[in-house]
């Protein structure tokens, strides 16, 4: 298992329906955790890079209707 953590910026606030879909995101094989940071309007997603590519993580969030885009690299 190769654990990778990636940050996403929310493009709009999350509503109840979107939060429910987000709660189901770790059911995707390879996603291990999705954490919402409401203060910074962002998500932190942990995934297994041996099972998923970053493009697949992006696509899974998009398919779930999560309004997020990959954040710039943070130092």
**Within a domain: 7:** yes
Q: Report whether pLDDT(75) > 70.
A: no
- The tens digit of pLDDT for each residue in 2-48 reads 899 999 999 998 888 888 888 877 777 778 888 988 787 899 999 99
CB 10 within 8 A of CB 70: no
User: Is residue 39 a part of any domain in this protein?
Assistant: yes
In a domain, 9, yes or no: yes
Q: Is 75 part of a structural domain of the chain? A: no
Please give the residue range of the domain that contains residue 40. Answer: 3-69
CATH number at residue 35: 3.30.70.100
The answer to whether residue 33 is domain-embedded is yes
Report the distance separating Cα 25 and Cα 74, nearest Å.
23
Assigned domain for 12 exists: yes
Q: Is 74 among the domain residues?
A: no
Assigned domain for 46 exists: yes
Alpha carbon distances (Å) from 30 to 1, 21, 72:
9, 17, 22
Q: Taking 80 as the threshold, does the pLDDT of residue 55 lie above it? A: yes
Q: Is the pLDDT of residue 74 over 60?
A: no
């Amino acid at each position: 298992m190769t654990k990778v953590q990636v940050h996403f910026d929310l493009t709009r606030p999350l509503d109840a329906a979107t939060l429910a879909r987000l709660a189901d995101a770790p059911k995707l094989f390879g996603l291990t955790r999705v954490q919402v940071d409401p203060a910074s309007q962002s998500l932190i997603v942990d995934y297994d890079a041996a099972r998923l590519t970053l493009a697949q993580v992006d696509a899974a969030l998009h398919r779930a209707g999560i309004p997020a885009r990959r954040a710039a690299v943070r130092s």
